[in-house]
Structure 1
Amino acid sequence: MRWIFLTLVFGNLLLLALFWQQQNKTEMAPVVALDIPANSRQLQLVQELAEPLPAAAPRKVANGERQPLCYVAGPYADELDARHLLARAAALSLSGRINSVEIATGEPAEYWVLVPPRASRAEAMRVLRELQQRSYDSYIVTQGDLAEAVSLGLFRNKESAYRLQKTIESYDIPAEVRVMNKASREYWVEIREVAQLNDRMRERIRAADTGISWELVECKSR
């Protein structure tokens, strides 16, 4: 009986020693060092980059949403021709509108003689009364960049405008001539059903109109 007891104790001690040895091997597992090539790519913080990352291109938005695109056909010099194209588009169940754009031609149309803006309305009134006493039709400009200026009228003849300027200056009143350039008006037909306007459809709507092109632009708000 005593021999059996000693055998069990010895066996338990042997199992405890084996378990302890196995636990130490697990905890002290060897660390393997990796040899990383010198020319390999490494992670960097954004602050460490020699050159900044390219910024994302801004997106054109309106009221937080992407602005829709429309096809426009033009330019037309005559609004009636633009209406004919709009009618052809409507016959194909397409909706549209006509937009007009004023284009400066650079050619002088009229010459505006005026006294430059005065320091106050009272000063402008003083100049106005003096000009009217000398029988010159004139008025005070009340709005815009030329507020408190005194207008002496528009002239189609260049020589007449500059002759009046010289006359006004002879009264010790400053005067200048502003050239008012001619402006022409263009008409463009805008159609919103972009997905339906393939090449064949656009040619059909344009018909025999010459000098007209289709462009894809941001729609104008209705």
Structure 2
Amino acid sequence: MRWIFFALVFANLLLLGVFWQQQTLAPQPVPGQIEVPDDSRRLQLVSELEQPLQALRLPAGRKSEVRPMCYVAGPYNDELDARHLLARAEALGLDGRINRVEVATEEPSEYWVHVPPRSSRAEAMRILKELQQRKIDSYIITQGDLAEGVSLGLFRNKTSAYGLQEKVDGFGIPVDVRVMHKSEQEYWAEIDQVSQLNDKMRERIRAGDANISWQQVACGVSAPANTK
């Protein structure tokens, strides 16, 4: 019976050894490792895609608008003179147009006597009532940079305007005088084909108009800034 006992012990040790060997050979999962299923997406080249990629579109308003440049010739005080220059340009196969510009001069035309803008409409109304009680024509200004101020009128005579200012100042009401300048019209001829207008071509089109100049501006702009 002893040999049966030793045979059973040997058999158990043999099975334990085989089981231990299988456990050590089996791959152990690595902590933090993610198993990727077989049906997951794989990396593809652009050329392998069934549909082409859509171009990225910028939101509306992000596009920078670049305006083309044009040549302008002027200024002319008479529109007819500007049209004569444009006719010479058109005779050379160029296209253009006449732009009319309103330009302020240094010569005063009127004097606007007014109370500067108040902190509120109620404050402006208070001053208005006080002026009307003193028989001074006035009204509240509702628009522009002088809104919530009080107008005391426009005067062509400088002495009358500053005389009223001094009178109202005597009531303890602050008053300013804004000088309104005369304006005049000037005309500019605008030519589209900038690349064709070299120095020689511009001089030919200008002809005898010695008091004008050529300048480059964005097309559609009436005239260069600070023409006066």
TM-score range (shorter-chain normalised) is 0.5 to 0.7
Give 1:24-173 correspondences, 5 Å limit. 63-64=63-64, 66-173=66-173
* SS class of match (2:136): coil
CA distance in 2, matches of 1:208, 1:164: 51
Q: Shift in Å at residue 135 of structure 1? A: 3.4
CA distance in 2, matches of 1:99, 1:161: 36
CA distance in 2, matches of 1:99, 1:77: 12
Q: Shift in Å at residue 74 of structure 1? A: 0.8
For structure 1, which segment, 62-71 or 207-216, has the greater mean C-alpha deviation from structure 2 after superposition? Answer: 62-71
Unaligned runs of 5+ in 1: 1-61
* SS class of match (1:82): helix
1:208 alignment counterpart: 208
Q: Report the residue type matching 2:135 in the other structure.
A: S
The TM-score with structure 1 as length reference comes to 0.61
1:4-27 deviation line (CA, Å, top 9, x unaligned) = xxxxxxxxxxxxxxxxxxxxxxxx
For structure 1, which segment, 98-107 or 190-199, has the greater mean C-alpha deviation from structure 2 after superposition? Answer: 98-107
CA distance in 2, matches of 1:78, 1:178: 30
Q: Report the residue type matching 1:120 in the other structure.
A: S
1:219 alignment counterpart: 219
* SS class of match (1:111): strand
Q: Report the residue type matching 2:170 in the other structure.
A: S
Q: Shift in Å at residue 208 of structure 1? A: 2.5
CA distance in 2, matches of 1:74, 1:221: 13
Q: Report the residue type matching 1:118 in the other structure.
A: R
2:190 alignment counterpart: 190
CA distance in 2, matches of 1:208, 1:214: 14
CA distance in 1, matches of 2:215, 2:76: 14
* SS class of match (1:173): coil
Identity %: 68
| 1:180 equivalenced with 2:180 (yes/no) | yes
CA distance in 1, matches of 2:174, 2:103: 32
